[in-house]
C-alpha cells in the first residue's frame, strides 16, 4: 500500500497521510520585521538562522525526518557498551537483511564514510567518474588530490523534462572518460541514488546494470552512495516497468548487489543519525577498517550513541515500507504539480527530498554573479518564515585557481522531510511562493562579505546589493496588512 493508492470520491488528487501524529512540536511564525533582522544577523545564509525565527524548516531532510514509535521504543532498549554492544549486532543484521552486505563499518554520518573512502582509495591525479557530485563527496575527493567528472545524460539539467530517470549516467560518456583518463587513474566509479543536487532525481536499475558492465569490463570498483536509496527504489517501482511487481526489498537489494561498496547517511536513509559503509568484499573492508577507530570510534559504535544505532536498525527495516518511504515523494509530487499549474518553474518530473524551484527563471533579472538561488532563498524566508536551502553557485566551491565556478542549476530547495509536515502547511508554501513570484522583480542580488575556503555555503555570510529586502517587506505589508 502507498500514500497515493487511496482514491477520492470528489476526484481530487491528494496524498493521504497513512500515519497519525502523537508527539507534536509547537512552531513559531514571527513577524516579517523580525525575519528581516534574522536575515541580517545570519548573513542572508539560511544555515545561519536560529530555528526560533523559522516557521517551516525545509532546510534539509538530514536528521529531520519524523521517527516512528518503533524507533523510539528501540532506543530505550539500547545496550551501552564501548565494545561488543548488542545494539551494534542488531544494526549489522539490519544492514545485511536490507542492504545485503556482510561487512559493515559504522560512522558518525555520511561524510565520514566519504572521508574514509577517499583517504583509502583516492590519490593525487585520480579521476572519479560519477553521475553527479554531492558537496561533501566532492570536497573529500578533492582534499585527497582527486578530481571528479560528472557524466549525466544531456537532458538531466533541464528544469522541465519527461525523463523519469534524470539521475542516470551516460554510458558513452563513462566509456570515453575511462579511455581518456586511463583505468589505472580511476579508483572507482561513484553512483549516487536519487541524485541530490539536480533535484533528487533517481537512476534506473537498467542504467546501474549498464554502469556495472562497464566497471567489470575495465576492472574498476563501483561505489554506491545509498543515502537516498529508499526513495530511488520507490521511484523505480513506480517508473521502471520491469520492476513494478517487485517488492521494495527486492529492488533495494538488486541495486546494492550491483555495487562493490555501499555507503550511506542514516540521517536520510533511516530517519535517525549516523551512517555506514558496507561491502561483501573482505579485502575492501580490511583496507578501511583501521580508519574507523582512528577517526570515528570503536568498530561497534563508530561515533554514534547506542540509542542512535537502535533507531537506525529499525529505520532500515521501515525503509522497505512504501507508506513510510513514499510519503515524502508523494507530498513532493503534489506540491510540484500545483506549482507547475500556477506557472512557477519547478524541477520536473518531481523527485525526492524536496521541491526544487528554478531561481534562474524567477530571478532572471539578477545576474548569476549575484547568486540568484541565494537571493530567492533569502527572499522566500523573508516573506514566509519558511527556511529553504540554496542549491546553486553559493553551494559550489572555487576551482584550484580560486575562481568562482558557476553552478549548472540555480535552485531553491524546499525539503519535505518524511512524515513531518501536513498538507495545509504544504498549501501555505505554495501560496507564499505564488505571491513571491508575482513580485519577483523586487528580488535583488547578494554579495559575499565573509567567504570561508571550504564548504562556504555553511559558514559564509552575504549581504544584499541594495535595499531590496526592505522594499519587499513593505510590499508584503501593503498586500497582507498585519498578517504574519
Ligand atoms: C547528506 C548526504 C551525504 C552526506 O551525509 P551526512 O550524513 O550529511 O554527512 C552524502 N551523500 C548524499 C547523497 C547525501 O544526501
Active site residue 448: no
Structure confidence at residue 397 (pLDDT): 84
Residue nearest to atom 8 of ligand 1 (CA): 110
Given a cut of 90, whether residue 484 has pLDDT beyond it is no
Query: Stretch 181-192: mean pLDDT, rounded?
Result: 98
Residue from 34, 51, 69, 82 carrying the catalytic annotation:
82
Residues 6+ apart with CB under 8 A from 353: 61, 194, 196, 200, 228, 231, 268, 328, 332, 413, 415, 416
Mean pLDDT of 193-217: 97
Q: What is the average pLDDT score of the chain? A: 96
Q: How far, in Å, CA of 130 to CA of 168, rounded?
A: 10
Q: Average of pLDDT values for 480-484?
A: 91
Q: What is the pLDDT of residues 230-273, one digit of tens each?
A: 999 999 999 999 999 999 999 999 999 999 999 999 999 998 89
Q: Which H helix or E strand runs over 229?
A: helix 229-239
Taking CA 174 as the corner, what is the angle to CA 396 and CA 127, rounded to the nearest 5 degrees? 55
Strand 103-107 versus strand 275-279 pairing type: antiparallel
285 carries an active-site annotation: no
Task: Determine whether the shortest distance from the Cβ of 104 to ligand 1 is under 6 A.
Answer: no
Residue 288 to residue 260: CA distance in whole angstroms: 14
Mean pLDDT of 292-307: 96
Query: What is the maximum span of the chain, computed from C-alpha positions, in angstroms?
Result: 66
Q: What phi and psi, each to the nearest 5 degrees, are found at residue 140?
A: -70, -40
Q: At what angle do helices 110-121 and 135-143 cross, to 10 degrees?
A: 30
CA 113 to chain centre: 16
Confidence (pLDDT) at 3: 76
Please pick, among 132, 134, 234, 380, the residue that the annotation labels catalytic: 134
Q: Is residue 135 packed enough to be buried (19+ CB in 10 Å), middle (13-18) or exposed (0-12)? A: middle
Q: Is 390 helix (H, G, I), strand (E, B) or coil?
A: strand
Asked if pLDDT for residue 227 goes beyond 90, the answer is yes
Compute the distance between CA of residue 272 and CA of residue 276 in angstroms, rounded to an integer.
Answer: 12
294, pLDDT greater than 90:
yes
Q: Is 225 a catalytic residue?
A: yes
Helix axes 86-99, 248-257, angle to 10 degrees: 90
pLDDT > 90? residue 6: no
Segment holding 221, helix H or strand E: strand 221-225
Residue 396, helix vs strand vs coil: coil
* CA-based nearest residue to 388, from 58, 159, 138, 164: 58
pTM of the predicted model as reported, rounded to 2 decimal places:
0.95
Q: Residue 1: what pLDDT?
A: 74
- The lowest-confidence range among 209-218, 301-310, 319-328, 450-459 is 450-459
Gap from CA of 44 to ligand 1 centroid (Å): 23
| Residue tagged active-site, from 53, 61, 170, 225 | 225
Length of the chain measured in residues = 484
Q: Angle at Cα 434 formed by Cα 428 and Cα 439, nearest 5°? A: 130
Among 55, 188, 428, 457, the one annotated catalytic: 457
Could you give the angle at the alpha carbon of 283 between the alpha carbons of 129 and 144, nearest 5°? 40
Cis check: omega of the bond before 349, within 30 degrees of 0: yes
Query: Ligand 1 centre from 136 Cα, in Å?
Result: 7
Of 130, 136, 328, best ligand 1 pocket probe by most atoms within 8 Å of the beta carbon = 136
Residue 130, H or E segment: strand 127-130
Judge contact between 276 and 107, C-beta under 8 A.
yes
Bridge partner list, 275 = 107, 265
Give the rounded percent of residues in the chain with a pLDDT score beyond 90.
94
Q: What is the pLDDT of residue 285?
A: 98
**Mean pLDDT of the region 316-336:** 97
Per residue in 118-136, pLDDT tens? 999 999 999 999 999 999 9
256 is catalytic: no
Percent helix, strand, coil in the chain (nearest 5)? 45, 15, 40
Helix (H) or strand (E) holding 435: helix 423-438
CA 405 to ligand 1 centroid distance, Å: 22
Q: Tell me the angle at which helices 423-438 and 372-384 cross, rounded to the nearest 10 degrees.
A: 120
DSSP-assigned letter for residue 3:
T
* Per-residue pLDDT tens digits for 422-441: 999 999 999 999 999 999 99
Residue 224 and residue 262 in contact, taking contact as beta carbons nearer than 8 Å: yes
And the C-alpha cell for 167?
A: 539521475
Tens of pLDDT along 152-162?
A: 999 999 999 99
Amino acid at each position: 500500500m502507498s500514500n497515493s493508492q487511496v482514491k477520492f470520491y470528489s476526484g481530487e488528487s491528494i496524498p493521504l497521510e497513512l500515519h497519525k501524529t502523537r508527539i507534536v512540536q509547537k512552531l513559531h511564525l514571527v513577524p516579517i520585521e523580525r525575519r528581516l533582522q534574522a536575515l541580517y544577523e545570519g548573513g542572508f545564509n539560511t544555515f545561519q538562522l536560529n530555528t526560533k525565527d523559522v516557521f517551516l524548516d525545509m532546510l534539509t531532510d538530514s536528521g529531520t525526518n519524523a521517527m516512528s514509535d518503533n524507533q523510539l521504543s528501540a532506543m530505550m532498549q539500547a545496550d551501552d557498551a564501548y565494545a561488543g554492544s548488542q545494539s551494534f549486532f542488531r544494526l549489522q543484521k539490519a544492514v545485511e537483511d536490507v542492504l545485503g552486505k556482510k561487512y559493515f563499518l559504522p560512522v558518525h554520518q555520511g561524510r565520514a564514510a566519504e572521508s574514509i573512502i577517499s583517504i583509502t582509495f583516492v590519490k593525487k591525479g585520480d579521476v572519479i567518474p560519477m553521475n553527479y557530485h554531492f558537496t561533501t563527496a566532492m570536497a573529500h575527493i578533492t582534499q585527497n588530490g582527486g578530481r571528479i567528472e560528472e557524466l549525466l545524460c544531456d537532458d538531466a539539467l533541464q528544469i522541465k523534462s519527461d525523463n523519469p530517470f534524470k539521475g542516470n549516467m551516460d554510458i558513452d560518456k563513462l566509456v570515453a572518460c575511462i579511455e581518456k583518463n586511463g583505468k589505472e587513474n580511476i579508483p572507482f566509479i561513484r553512483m549516487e541514488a536519487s541524485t541530490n543536487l539536480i533535484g533528487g532525481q533517481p537512476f534506473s536499475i537498467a542504467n546501474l546494470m549498464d554502469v556495472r558492465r562497464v566497471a567489470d569490463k575495465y576492472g574498476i570498483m563501483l561505489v554506491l552512495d545509498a543515502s537516498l536509496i529508499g526513495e530511488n527504489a520507490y521511484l523505480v517501482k513506480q517508473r521502471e516497468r520491469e520492476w513494478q511487481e517487485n517488492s521494495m526489498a527486492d529492488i533495494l537489494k538488486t541495486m546494492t548487489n550491483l555495487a562493490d561498496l555501499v555507503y550511506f547517511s542514516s540521517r536520510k536513509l533511516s530517519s535517525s543519525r549516523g551512517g555506514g559503509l558496507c561491502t561483501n568484499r573482505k579485502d575492501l573492508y580490511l583496507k578501511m577498517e583501521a580508519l574507523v577507530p582512528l577517526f570515528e570510534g570503536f568498530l561497534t559504535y563508530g561515533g554514534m550513541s547506542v540509542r542512535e544505532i537502535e533507531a537506525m536498525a529499525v529505520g532500515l527495516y521501515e525503509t522497505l515500507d512504501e507508506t513510510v518511504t513514499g510519503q515524502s515523494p508523494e507530498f513532493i509530487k503534489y506540491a510540484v504539480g500545483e506549482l507547475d499549474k500556477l506557472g512557477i518553474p519547478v524541477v520536473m518530473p518531481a523527485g525526492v527530498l524536496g521541491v526544487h524551484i528554478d531561481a534562474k527563471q524567477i530571478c532572471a533579472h539578477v545576474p548569476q554573479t549575484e547568486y540568484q538561488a541565494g537571493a530567492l532563498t533569502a527572499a522566500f524566508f523573508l516573506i514566509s518564515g519558511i527556511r529553504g536551502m540554496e542549491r546553486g553557485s553559493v553551494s559550489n566551491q572555487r576551482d584550484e585557481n580560486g575562481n568562482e565556478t558557476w553552478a549548472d542549476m540555480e535552485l531553491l530547495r524546499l525539503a519535505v522531510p518524511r512524515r513531518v509536515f501536513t498538507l495545509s502547511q504544504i498549501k501555505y508554501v505554495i501560496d507564499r511562493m505564488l505571491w513571491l513570484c508575482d513580485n519577483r522583480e523586487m528580488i535583488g542580488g547578494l554579495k559575499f562579505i565573509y567567504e570561508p575556503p571550504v564548504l562556504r555555503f555553511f559558514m559564509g555570510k552575504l549581504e544584499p546589493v541594495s535595499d531590496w529586502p526592505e522594499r519587499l517587506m513593505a510590499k508584503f505589508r501593503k498586500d497582507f496588512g498585519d498578517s504574519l
